[in-house]
Amino acid sequence: MISSVLVANRGEIARRVFRTARALGLSTVAVYSTADARMPYVDEADAAVQLPGNAPGETYLRADLIVEAARRAGADAVHPGYGFLSENAAFAQAVIDAGLTWIGPPVDAISSMGSKIEAKKLMAAAGVPVLAELTPAEVAAGDLPVLVKASAGGGGRGMRVVSRLADLAGEIEAASAEALSAFGDGTVFCERYLASGRHVEVQIMADQHGTIWAVGERECSIQRRHQKVVEEAPSPLVERIPSMRPALFDAARKAAAAIGYVGAGTVEFLADETGNFYFLEMNTRLQVEHPVTEETTGLDLVELQFAVAAGEHLPPEPPPTVGHAIEVRLYAEDPTRDWQPQTGRLHRFQVGDARLSGTNVAPAGEKVPESGLRVDSGVEDGSEVSPYYDPMLAKVIAYGPDRTAVARRLAGVLGRAKLHGVGTNRDLLAWILRHPAFLAGDTDTAFFGEHGVGPGVDDAVVRVSALAAALADAAGRCDPVRVPSGWRNLPSQLQRKSYRVGEVVHEIGYRLTRDGLVVDGNIILLDSTSERVVLEVDGVRRMFEVAAYGGLTCVDSALGSVQLSTVERFTDPAQQMAAGSLVAPMPGTVVRVGVQVGDVVTQGQPLLWLEAMKMEHTIAAPVDGVVGELKVAAGQQVEVGAVLAVVGEDA
């Protein structure tokens, strides 16, 4: 009998498992790094054990420390969550050797799928369609483009698309280094790259007595950097080709049977528009996107994981899929700047009137509610987004009877969310959900390559939001008798305030007179406080909610949400940087330096590589020139804004 479970993970993953564990009457144990000490999941656990350090390699990837933490806290079971050690056979064996219950598949099954190279051979032997594997040494020009993939792990890490043979060696080296850092295994291989496939996967659940469920399929084709952004169940492609579903389910069950699988897992396929599909990999764990399957079946997949681990029987058949569910991954990143991760404080996190993950899921077989919203989140107001881990803040899931209605509702919820502080991909997600191609079910892996990343917030919206911010600031500084900010007896120049959004500075000019607001354009001030400004814009009344956090002001309205950084009127000369300076866009570790002082470089040429949030980021030359200074070396930790190098016209 399990009485206490340690979750060998962090953030929203740990919170999700904790909720089901508590519902089952189990006590919970968290592990946390130094950077995660104040994260919500730590306080929610009944007991918590610190793993000293920050980097995954010294904390969440240390199997010995996690097993010891379970012993110290009195846990009798370990749930791995997803990511980190969840697909590490040696960790599973260490848990079992310690006399603890492993809430996961058999060690041999993990080993079988732990190497994507060996997994493809097993699947081919079991009759599952596969794409031919290429060893890096045998790739020829006729094979291009190819995809370099890490043999261990997943989540888009250790993956590179190569279109030129001359780039292959360098990309293999980069992919191997990234895989080694993320998974502790730098083995990579190549396969033919299909630029516009459909990513379709099947949820598997199997017990110890030979019953294997194919619990519906999911489509996860919209991806960036080979990592999923939008997931849904059922798949629009499979819905369009009804004969595809039985073949998919049969292939998934064959894959599970071939390795004696037990527990929750996912068999992933790459499909084309005609319904042909090929095995990609099998994830021997719960998936990030499992909520869309839960919402359309009424199952609690985590509860089933506990039941299967305890030796219970599954019913002969899974419940049917009812309705439609869409999940979007809310990341702390900037899609317009090559998906650059964002770090810092999340001052406010409010997404709709959502229920928390794992609650109010209908019993197996019952129809899910006709409309609803679910948020699986690892953060809350005041949380710090660190550079050490994946930048996902939350998964926002909407479900209902109709795909189009679900997409519309989810887009509306995202648009009204209050996300203050660190930048997010919220606008991109809402744009995807409203895009005609998405609504038509045309969602292949080349979605962003074909359609871009959306227009962003309109410049006119930014300017009127900046005006609202300035007026709210002025209202907050008025004296008790409500003398307008900047009031003069006779008309004078406009008051001016400047804000930065990204790299663009917006200067706002306005004057408050006895006759009202004087400003460029047809705008009338109706009311203002330090937190709320009401304007009439071109004859339409608009309300703007304003929240100030030091030098950052966040403005939310029906027109869109804007984050404005105050530009100070006077700058400290000591803080100014030389022209051509390359600065760190986030805290991280310099993993490689590709140039020396005096080297001639061209605009866009990679100069050095920074590792942050488990991904490798390229820092390129901003202009043609000569490397005048190098201020960092490989292995060095840097803070956001640190000058890394200077490129000038001459040395």
58, two tokens: 């010294």
Indicate whether 339 pLDDT > 70.
yes
285 included as an active-site residue: yes
This prediction's pTM: 0.87
Question: What pLDDT score was predicted for residue 482?
Answer: 57
Beta bridge partners of residue 616, listed in sequence order: 611
Q: How does residue 490 score in pLDDT terms, banded at 50, 70 and 90?
A: confident
Count of positions (residues) in the chain: 651
Decide: 352 and 409 in contact? Cβ < 8 Å.
no
| CA triple 531-533-535, angle to 5 deg | 170
Question: What pLDDT score was predicted for residue 648?
Answer: 83
Three-state DSSP class for 361?
coil
pLDDT exceeding 90 applies to what percent of the chain?
63
Which one from 160, 285, 409, 511 is the annotated catalytic residue?
285
DSSP letter, residue 209: T
**Structural domains in the chain, sorted by start:** 4-103 (3.40.50.20), 132-192 (3.30.1490.20), 198-451 (3.30.470.20), 459-566 (3.30.700), 573-648 (2.40.50.100)
Rounded to whole angstroms, the Cα distance separating 534 from 157 reads 46
Decide: 237 and 403 in contact? Cβ < 8 Å.
no
pLDDT tens for 576-604 read 667 778 888 777 888 888 888 888 888 88
Indicate whether 360 pLDDT > 50.
no
211-226 average pLDDT score: 95
The answer to which of 204-208, 417-421, 505-509, 517-521 has the lowest mean pLDDT is 517-521
pLDDT exceeding 70 applies to what percent of the chain?
92
| pLDDT, greater one: 173 or 570 | 173
Rounded to whole angstroms, the Cα distance separating 533 from 563 reads 16
10 Å Cβ neighbour count for 236?
Answer: 19
Question: What pLDDT score was predicted for residue 145?
Answer: 86
Decide: 277 and 244 in contact? Cβ < 8 Å.
yes
pLDDT tens for 384-408 read 999 889 999 999 999 999 999 999 9
Indicate whether 76 pLDDT > 80.
yes
Question: What pLDDT score was predicted for residue 354?
Answer: 52
pLDDT tens for 148-162 read 888 776 666 778 889
Phi, psi (deg, nearest 5) at residue 108: -65, -35
Decide: 150 and 183 in contact? Cβ < 8 Å.
yes
Question: What pLDDT score was predicted for residue 478?
Answer: 65
- Average predicted confidence (pLDDT) for the chain: 89
Question: What pLDDT score was predicted for residue 307?
Answer: 97
